[in-house]
C-alpha cells in the first residue's frame, strides 16, 4: 500500500501560514537547505492539495521565475502527478493535475491502494487535519522554522481528539530549521 506523507514547515509557535495566509517566511536560501530541498523534490511522488494550496502552488511553480529561482524543485513540481480536492473546481490548468470532487477520505484510501509512488501533502492544512482524523497519514515530516508568528493557522485545526506519534528521525540545519519525522502510533 502506498504511503501518505505530510511535508510542511511550521513556525516555532506551530503555524504553517501566518494570519494573512503567507508562508514566505519559510523560504531560506542557504546551500545546505537548498541541497535538502532539491533532494527531497527529486524523490518523486504524487502530490495532493486542497484548492487554496493548489492555487498558490499553480500560480508559482509553472512560471519562469520558479525555473530561475529553484529549477530542480520547479521541474519536479511541474512533472509530478497532482490531485486537487475541491467541491467547486471542475478543471485544473497546471500540468499533470486531476480534480477530485468526491469524498476526500474515500478517494485517498483508493489512491493508497493503487500502485504508484508515495502520496505527498504540502500545505493544505484542512486536508492534513481531515486525513489525520481518518488515520490515513503514514508519516509527518515537519520542519520547525526559527520564527514566532504570533498568529496563523495550524496543520491540525478541527482535529477531534489526539493523535499519538513516535519520532522516527530528526535533522538540524545550520539555518536553524529542524526536521522532525513522526509516524502515528497505531
Confidence category of residue 141, pLDDT binned at 50, 70, 90: very high
Question: pTM of the entire structure?
Answer: 0.92
For 105-139, what is each residue's pLDDT tens digit?
999 999 999 999 999 999 888 999 999 999 999 99
CATH number at residue 94: 3.40.430.10
| Domain extent at residue 121 | 4-184
Question: How many degrees, rounded to 5, is the angle at CA 2 between CA 55 and CA 43?
Answer: 65
Q: How many domains does the chain have?
A: 1
For the chain, first and last CA: distance in Å? 16
| Segment 13-68, tens digit of pLDDT | 999 999 998 888 887 778 998 899 888 887 778 999 999 899 999 999 999 999 99
Place of cell 515530516: 141
Amino acid at each position: 500500500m502506498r504511503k501518505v506523507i505530510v511535508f510542511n514547515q511550521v513556525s516555532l509557535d506551530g503555524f504553517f501560514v501566518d494570519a494573512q495566509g503567507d508562508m514566505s517566511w519559510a523560504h531560506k536560501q542557504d546551500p545546505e537547505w537548498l541541497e535538502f530541498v532539491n533532494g527531497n523534490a527529486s524523490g518523486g511522488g504524487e502530490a495532493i492539495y486542497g484548492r487554496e494550496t493548489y492555487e498558490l502552488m499553480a500560480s508559482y511553480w509553472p512560471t519562469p521565475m520558479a525555473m530561475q529561482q529553484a529549477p530542480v524543485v520547479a521541474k519536479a513540481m511541474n512533472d509530478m502527478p497532482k490531485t486537487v480536492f475541491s467541491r467547486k473546481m471542475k478543471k485544473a490548468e497546471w500540468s499533470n493535475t486531476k480534480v477530485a470532487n468526491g469524498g476526500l477520505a474515500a478517494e485517498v484510501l483508493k489512491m493508497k491502494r493503487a500502485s504508484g509512488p508515495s502520496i505527498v501533502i504540502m500545505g493544505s492544512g484542512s486536508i492534513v487535519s481531515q486525513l489525520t482524523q481518518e488515520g490515513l497519514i503514514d508519516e509527518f515530516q515537519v520542519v520547525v522554522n526559527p520564527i514566532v508568528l504570533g498568529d496563523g493557522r495550524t496543520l491540525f485545526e478541527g482535529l477531534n481528539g489526539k493523535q499519538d506519534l513516535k519520532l522516527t528521525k530528526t535533522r538540524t540545519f545550520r539555518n536553524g530549521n529542524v526536521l522532525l519525522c513522526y509516524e502515528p502510533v497505531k
